Amino acid sequence: MKASSNTSSVAGRSPTGAVRRRRLPLVAVLVVLLLAVAVFRPRPKEPEYAGKPLHVLLEQISENPRHAETAIQAVRAIGTNAIPRLLADLEGRTPRIRRVVWKDRANRLLNRQSLSSFRFSENLAHPEPLPIYGFFALGSNANAAIPALIATAAKKPVPAVELYALAFVGKESIPFLLSKLTNETSLYVPSFAALAVATAVTYGSISVSDAQPFVPVLTGLLQSTNVATRAKAKTALEYIQNAAAGKSPDPGK
Tens place of pLDDT per residue across the chain (253 aa): 555 545 444 445 555 555 555 555 555 566 556 555 544 444 456 899 999 999 999 999 999 999 999 999 999 999 999 999 999 888 765 445 455 555 666 666 667 767 667 665 654 344 458 899 999 999 999 999 999 999 999 888 888 899 999 999 999 999 999 999 988 777 789 999 999 999 999 999 999 999 999 999 999 999 999 998 999 999 999 999 999 998 765 544 5
Q: How far is CA 125 from CA 48, 102, 105, 129, 233, in A?
A: 25, 12, 12, 12, 30
Q: Residue 91 and residue 86: Cα distance in Å, rounded?
A: 9
Q: Residue 138 and residue 160: Cα distance in Å, rounded?
A: 19
| Angle formed at CA 151 by CA 197 and CA 188, multiple of 5 degrees | 45
Determine contact, residues 144/80, Cβ cutoff 8 Å: yes
Specify the amino acid at residue 47.
P
Q: What is the pTM of this model?
A: 0.70
Alpha helix (H) ranges present in the chain? 2-40, 54-63, 69-78, 83-90, 95-110, 131-138, 146-154, 160-169, 174-181, 189-202, 214-221, 227-244
CB 6: neighbour CB atoms within 10 A?
Answer: 10
